[in-house]
A = this chain, B = another copy of it.
Amino acid sequence: MSITKEDISQWFKSLQDDICQQLENADEKANFQEDPWERPGGGGGRTRVISDGNVLEKGGVNFSAVNGKTPVNILQALELEEADFFATGVSIVLHPNNPWVPIIHMNVRYFEMSNGIWWFGGGIDLTPHYVNKDEASFFHNSLKNICDNHHADYYKRFKTWADEYFYIKHRKETRGIGGIFFDRLGAQEGSKEDLFNFVKEVGKGFAPIYTRFMKDNKSREFSQNEKNWQMLRRGRYVEFNLVWDKGTKFGLDTDGRTESILMSLPPQANWVYDYNPEENSKESETLSLLKKDIDWVKDN
């Protein structure tokens, strides 16, 4: 039996359920609120948001499955005149209260057109307010294990791709410590079954990794200075998402559902003119680690 778009969409929907459950269990206070929506052009989604939790201050775990006429920019890139499209995915951003718990982003998605073209995309990346080298190494090793189960090249390729993608050009900083990012993995890359199996493992890998960071750090004490630093790092997160993130830009340009797209923004972000942390502080150490091409697997 070949895999249909309904199979994939159904699996993503159950992934959303599963992740929300695991996050609620780890938060021990807040529950996700569901906001179902329909897209005028076809399809819809289930936006689920959480706020004011023990650990999670604001976040979203969104599922969508939409269809219609393929957007012009995709048609142009593929030199096509016209085609219908179907796109489904799960997209997550979580902003924790405690500055010792990192911000995380995860996305898995599938796209196909009426002419038979299809691909998967997605990834997981981590944005610690303070980089903890052990956690960074655990994070990258976890992703590498997932990748290595499917292709010997995946981790290296997709880790480099994340470094390039999550780059705040005007700050000369990466958004965080990266992770993996991949897009347009289609028939030239492998069978639909194999790629779907890989994407499933990425999706299932998310909750165990992040709930570990929640549990390990949620009770750690923090100072007002550390909270202030968190607010500045969230400012950088806003800058990346609104200036450079191609997914956000595409959504806002093409009349996507604004509230679902911008659920990625933090509850609060601050800006201070030309703020530079003291030399040899833990803030300046974090800045020194927001660079491309750090080998986190090797470093531990």
Q: Interface on A for B, CB 8 Å cutoff?
A: 35, 49, 51, 58, 60, 169-171, 231, 235, 238-239, 242-243, 249, 252, 255, 258-259, 261-263, 265-274
Q: Is the beta-carbon distance between A242 and B238 smaller than 8 angstroms? A: yes
Residue of B nearest to A252 (CB): B170
Given known pairs A170-B252, A242-B239, the reply for A273 and B263 (CB within 8 Å) is yes
Least Cβ–Cβ distance between A246 and chain B, in angstroms: 13
Least Cβ–Cβ distance between A23 and chain B, in angstroms: 16
How far is it, in angstroms, between the C-alpha of A269 and the C-alpha of B231 when the chains are bound?
Answer: 10
B residues near A239, Cβ cutoff 8 Å: 242, 262
Q: Is the beta-carbon distance between A171 and B258 smaller than 8 angstroms? A: yes
Q: Is the beta-carbon distance between A262 and B258 smaller than 8 angstroms? A: no
Least Cβ–Cβ distance between A235 and chain B, in angstroms: 7
Least Cβ–Cβ distance between A44 and chain B, in angstroms: 15
Q: Is the beta-carbon distance between A268 and B267 smaller than 8 angstroms? A: no
How far is it, in angstroms, between the C-alpha of A271 and the C-alpha of B60 when the chains are bound?
Answer: 13
| Pairs of residues from A and B, 9 with the lowest C-beta to C-beta distance, nearest first | A242-B242, A170-B252, A265-B271, A259-B274, A49-B273, A170-B258, A268-B270, A242-B243, A269-B269
B residues near A263, Cβ cutoff 8 Å: 273
Q: Is the beta-carbon distance between B273 and A60 smaller than 8 angstroms? A: yes
Least Cβ–Cβ distance between A31 and chain B, in angstroms: 14
B residues near A270, Cβ cutoff 8 Å: 267-269
How far is it, in angstroms, between the C-alpha of A270 and the C-alpha of B269 when the chains are bound?
Answer: 6
Given known pairs A242-B239, A243-B242, A243-B252, the reply for A273 and B169 (CB within 8 Å) is no
Q: Which of A35, A49, A238 has the most CB of B within 10 A?
A: A238
How far is it, in angstroms, between the C-alpha of A255 and the C-alpha of B169 when the chains are bound?
Answer: 9
Among B169, B171, B231, B258, the residue within 8 A (CB) of A268 is B231
